[in-house]
């Protein structure tokens, strides 16, 4: 890998590791110190490697420089010496024997995940901090993800950090009694992070694999720890695997979105599907059924490429369970599609119209689909309404294609 490609790659993979380990060592109140040292380390790499060439082991070089910069900071910063290092016996060099072993990096990132995904700060701040501290995303990238500007992101992250400081949140795993309740916030953050990458109305980028892969990586961190290797975690990762397995089939050569029933099964990643099945089987223990279990089950059946009644009966039953467990208008709308596969379009229209989701373009898109075999004029009316409400370019193109095909078929 060339230097101009290697440094951005290492920034994405190693920045978060260095930051998490240093922050765990200094305490969350000094998170900016940890981030500054990590950033300065990569700046030094850019300057040094441009003149001296790549070192034999770039990662080891980064870790050594980060340790040295941390030790220098401790020696020179009187405030840090007063508030942090004064209680440490020995020299700053001894204090800064930072453990950048794989195990300590993993432990540090896992503990930081619980700090960031704390319900005392808003969900969007949890996701923003996760992207910044644990995924190595720049402020520009986070702003793009939320379709906002850098100033808004910086203010949001600043307020979140200040709140965590004020509450004196410690970088540690919750105890055994608290972990199962606290992990719900962690899982929700990871679920939303993956969802933002898998489909977003806030951007014209149909799939952003980087967000999805980071969500999967952080979820896998939970599985590597005995305390957090819980059924709901396995279920969430199973869901992510099933969804990610169809990435390559969801876009055509023109980078346009491909609907499920038009996807080429040969492009599905069957290795990921099998991993999803493995995680879903591991999730099938205990007595607690989470929404991630049910959604993973629904996603699994969507990896079975046939249109049998039995398949859609399984999916409909799972949607029924999901709506009882946690009602969502979008889940109810998706259930209606499965309902149509079993009971027909006319019956499904009655089910869909009960929802009355008149501000949602998916609602009108589905009604347009259902009306095609019943009343083509009503079908076009609904597609036109969906086109008016759709926000992203990709969604508008899909709906316009449906309108064009409907008109063509009627001629």
Q: What are the pLDDT digits (tens) for 285-304?
A: 988 899 999 999 999 999 99
Check whether residue 95 and residue 107 sit in a common domain.
no
- Are 182 and 150 members of one domain? yes
pLDDT digits (tens, 9 = 90+) for 360-375: 999 999 999 999 989 9
Judge whether 77 lies within some domain: yes
Please compute the mean of the pLDDT values over residues 253-266 and round it to a whole number.
Answer: 79
* 206 confidence band (pLDDT: 50, 70, 90): very low
Domain extent at residue 52: 1-100
Say yes or no: 22 and 117 in one domain: no
Same domain? 14 vs 57:
yes
Query: Does residue 98 surpass a pLDDT of 80?
Result: no
> Per-residue pLDDT averaged across 79-88, rounded?
56
Is residue 294 assigned to a domain?
A: no
381 lies in a domain?
no
> Measured between alpha carbons, how far is residue 263 from residues 248, 267, 300, 315 in Å?
9, 8, 16, 19
Task: Grade residue 94 by pLDDT with cuts at 50, 70 and 90.
Answer: very low
Residue 309: exposure state from Cβ atoms within 10 A (0-12, 13-18, ≥19):
exposed
Residues 114 and 83 in one domain: no
Is 62 in the same domain as 107?
no
Q: Does residue 82 have a pLDDT over 80?
A: no
Compute φ and ψ for 122, nearest 5 degrees. -60, 155
User: How many domains is the chain partitioned into structurally?
Assistant: 2
Same-domain pairing of 94 and 178? no
Question: Do residue 88 and residue 117 come from a single domain?
Answer: no
Q: What is the pTM of this model?
A: 0.84
Does any domain span residue 173?
A: yes
Residue 95, pLDDT score: 47
Same domain membership, residue 116 and residue 63? no
Question: Which of 100, 135, 166 corresponds to the end of one domain?
Answer: 100
Whether residues 209 and 110 fall in one domain: yes
Q: Is the pLDDT higher at 16 or at 312?
A: 312
> CA 113 to CA 218: how far, in whole Å?
8
Token representation of residue 104: 């300590």
């Amino acid at each position: 890998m060339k230097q101009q490609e290697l440094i951005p790659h290492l920034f994405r993979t190693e920045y978060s590791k260095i930051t998490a380990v240093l922050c765990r060592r200094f305490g969350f109140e000094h998170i900016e110190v940890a981030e500054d040292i990590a950033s300065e380390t990569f700046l030094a790499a850019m300057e040094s490697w441009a003149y001296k060439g790549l070192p034999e082991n770039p990662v080891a070089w980064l870790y050594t420089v980060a340790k040295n910069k941390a030790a220098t900071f401790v020696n020179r910063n009187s405030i840090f010496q007063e508030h942090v290092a004064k209680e440490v016996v020995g020299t700053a060099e001894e204090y800064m024997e930072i453990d950048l072993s794989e195990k300590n990096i993993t432990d540090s990132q896992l503990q930081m995940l619980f700090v960031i995904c704390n319900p005392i700060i808003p969900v969007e701040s949890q996701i923003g901090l996760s992207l910044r501290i644990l995924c190595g995303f720049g402020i520009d990238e986070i702003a793009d993800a939320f379709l906002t500007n850098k100033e808004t992101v910086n203010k949001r992250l600043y307020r979140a950090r200040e709140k965590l400081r004020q509450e004196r949140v410690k970088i540690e795993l919750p105890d055994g009694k608290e972990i199962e309740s606290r992990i719900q916030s962690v899982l929700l953050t990871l679920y939303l992070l993956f969802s933002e990458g898998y489909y977003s109305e806030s951007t014209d980028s149909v799939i952003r694999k980087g967000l999805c892969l980071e969500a999967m990586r952080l979820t896998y961190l939970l599985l590597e720890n005995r305390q957090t290797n819980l059924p709901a975690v396995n279920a969430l990762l199973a869901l992510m695997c099933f969804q990610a397995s169809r990435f390559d089939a969801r876009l055509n050569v023109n980078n346009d979105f491909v609907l499920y029933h038009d996807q080429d099964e040969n492009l599905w990643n069957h290795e990921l599907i099998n991993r999803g099945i493995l995680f879903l089987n591991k999730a099938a223990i205990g007595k607690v059924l989470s929404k991630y279990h049910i959604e993973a089950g629904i996603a699994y059946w969507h990896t079975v490429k046939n249109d049998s009644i039995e398949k859609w009966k399984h999916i409909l039953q799972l949607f029924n369970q999901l709506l009882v467990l946690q009602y969502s208008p979008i889940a109810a709308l998706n259930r209606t599609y499965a309902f149509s596969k079993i009971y027909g379009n006319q019956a499904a229209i009655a089910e869909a119209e009960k929802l009355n989701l008149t501000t949602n373009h998916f609602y009108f898109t589905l009604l347009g689909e259902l009306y095609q075999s019943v009343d083509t004029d009503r079908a076009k009316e609904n597609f036109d309404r969906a086109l008016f409400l759709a926000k992203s370019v990709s969604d508008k193109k899909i709906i316009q294609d449906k309108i064009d095909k409907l008109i063509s078929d009627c001629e």
